[in-house]
């Protein structure tokens, strides 16, 4: 009878909101641009700390809105500028941790000639010559989409190419359209260019496309603040650099300033 009662008590503890903390679960929310790197880094953190990580990914704008609404998680990763995130009081401001930055790049279908994108003039020529172009839908909050639309405005060709633009659901969607041969050129964050059947050309020139920074925080509502801080330390450690670089990202210590105006999702 005593063992039965003890079993019931343990079951109640584990099913309570505090049960996850007792088991060491850290929750994280982040934009899709850093997804591949974070998913590759999580197993090492779990082995090192014994904590589990539950990560969910969405758009850059959507992630910031979730933070501003005060949704419950331990670690939010957002893209600057983020005045609404700080103003909400839902993150510990002093915990801001630069993780990495990522540029918008160009990809073509496998086997297709790679266009010259070394200068703004070359990029302008490429975009005007293309029959169709895919990129993430900015209206859905995709930061890469917003960044590319700013590039079009800088080049002064937004209206001239509008008819050939095909907006996709996220970077993966844009690359899938390219792989299927529905467009000539695809653009999204370099870290999202993993679709079979495409070839990466490279990043857009920095003078027309500033890389987007990604910054992590400890949530003001974290159920496991210690675990949240440990996860941020791990994601920003020197040991994480190789993972970011393999995903065509720049580690936080060598990234552009987090308040770069082009980073607005």
Phi and psi at residue 126, to the nearest 5°: -60, -50
Structure tokens at 194: 């993993």
| Tens-place pLDDT, residues 123-145 | 999 999 999 999 999 998 899 99
| Tens-place pLDDT, residues 2-52 | 444 444 433 443 443 334 343 589 999 999 999 999 999 999 999 999 999
What is each CA distance from 167 to 9, 22, 68, 173, 212, in whole angstroms?
52, 44, 27, 9, 20
Q: Residue 222: what pLDDT?
A: 94
Structure tokens at 30: 């982040």
Q: Are 168 and 79 in contact (CB under 8 A)?
A: no
Q: Residue 141: what pLDDT?
A: 87
What is each CA distance from 193 to 161, 168, 220, in whole angstroms?
23, 14, 33
Q: Residue 2: what pLDDT?
A: 43
Assess whether the region 22-101+212-263 and the region 104-203 belong to the same CATH fold: yes
Sorted by where each begins, the domain ranges of the chain are 22-101+212-263, 104-203
| Tens-place pLDDT, residues 71-130 | 989 999 999 889 999 999 999 999 999 999 999 999 999 999 999 999 999 999 999 999
Cα dihedral across residues 194, 264, 229, 254: positive or negative: positive
| Tens-place pLDDT, residues 203-243 | 999 999 999 999 999 999 999 999 999 999 999 999 999 99
Contacts of 59 (CB under 8 A, 6+ apart): 31, 32, 140, 141, 142, 143, 170, 265
Any bridge partners for residue 185, and if so which?
A: 108, 133
CATH architecture under which domain 22-101+212-263 falls: 3-Layer(aba) Sandwich (3.40)
Does the pLDDT value for residue 152 go beyond 50?
Answer: yes
CATH 1.10.275.30 applies to domain 104-203: no
């Amino acid at each position: 009878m005593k063992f039965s009662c003890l079993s019931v008590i343990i079951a109640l503890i584990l099913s309570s909101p505090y049960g996850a903390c007792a088991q060491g679960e850290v929750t994280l929310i982040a934009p899709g641009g850093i997804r591949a790197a974070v998913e590759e880094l999580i197993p090492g953190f779990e082995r090192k700390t014994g904590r589990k990580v539950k990560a969910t990914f969405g758009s850059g704008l959507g992630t910031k809105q979730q933070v501003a609404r005060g949704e419950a998680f331990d670690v939010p990763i957002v893209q600057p500028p983020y005045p609404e995130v700080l103003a909400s009081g839902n993150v510990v401001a002093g915990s801001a941790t630069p993780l990495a930055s990522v540029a918008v790049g160009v990809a073509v279908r496998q086997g297709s000639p790679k266009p010259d994108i070394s200068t703004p003039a070359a990029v302008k020529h490429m975009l005007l010559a293309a029959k169709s172009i895919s990129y993430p839908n900015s209206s859905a909050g995709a930061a890469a989409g917003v960044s590319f639309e700013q590039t079009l405005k800088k080049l002064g060709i937004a209206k001239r190419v509008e008819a050939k633009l095909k907006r996709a659901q996220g970077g993966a969607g844009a690359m899938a359209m390219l792989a299927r041969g529905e467009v000539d050129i695809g653009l999204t964050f370099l870290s999202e260019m993993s679709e079979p059947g495409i070839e990466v050309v490279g990043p857009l020139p920095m003078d027309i496309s500033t890389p987007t920074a990604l910054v992590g925080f400890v949530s003001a509502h974290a159920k496991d603040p210690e675990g949240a801080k440990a996860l941020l330390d791990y994601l920003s450690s020197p040991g994480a650099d190789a993972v970011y670089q393999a995903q065509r990202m720049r580690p936080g210590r060598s990234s552009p300033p987090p308040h770069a105006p082009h980073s607005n999702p």
